[in-house]
Amino acid sequence: MITLTESATTKVDELIKGEGEDNLALRVAVRPGGCSGFSYEMYFDSDIADDDETISFGPIRVVVDPSSSMLLQGATLDYKDGLDQSGFSIDNPNAQKTCGCGQSFS
């Protein structure tokens, strides 16, 4: 299952509060596509399936479907807000190669 850094947890909490819905979770998924074979998908979701894996980081619930969970084992979601780097990034030890944009992997 994926883990969140403290900065990612803080930013996701801020974004969920901005949505104004308390029951939202961050869904992280891996889908076929992208220039390297798979791409990451992240969005807020309130529809949690019985077979979804859920883990909490402080006030944040992260939800991952079973097929994505296998590809996200040991991965870390981070958030940076600086001049040289800004936004969310996933460090995934399961990725054998990534594309130049960092949004897809194989």
95, 58, 53: which is closest to 76 by C-alpha? 95
Is there a domain that residue 103 lies in? no
pLDDT tens per residue across span 24-63? 999 999 988 655 578 889 999 999 999 999 999 999 999 9
Is there a domain that residue 99 lies in? no
CATH number at residue 15: 2.60.300.12
Is there a domain that residue 102 lies in? no
Is there a domain that residue 31 lies in? yes
Contact 92, 72 (CB under 8 A): yes
Contact 26, 63 (CB under 8 A): yes
Domain that holds residue 71: 3-94
For the chain, what is the domain count? Answer: 1
**pTM of structure:** 0.82
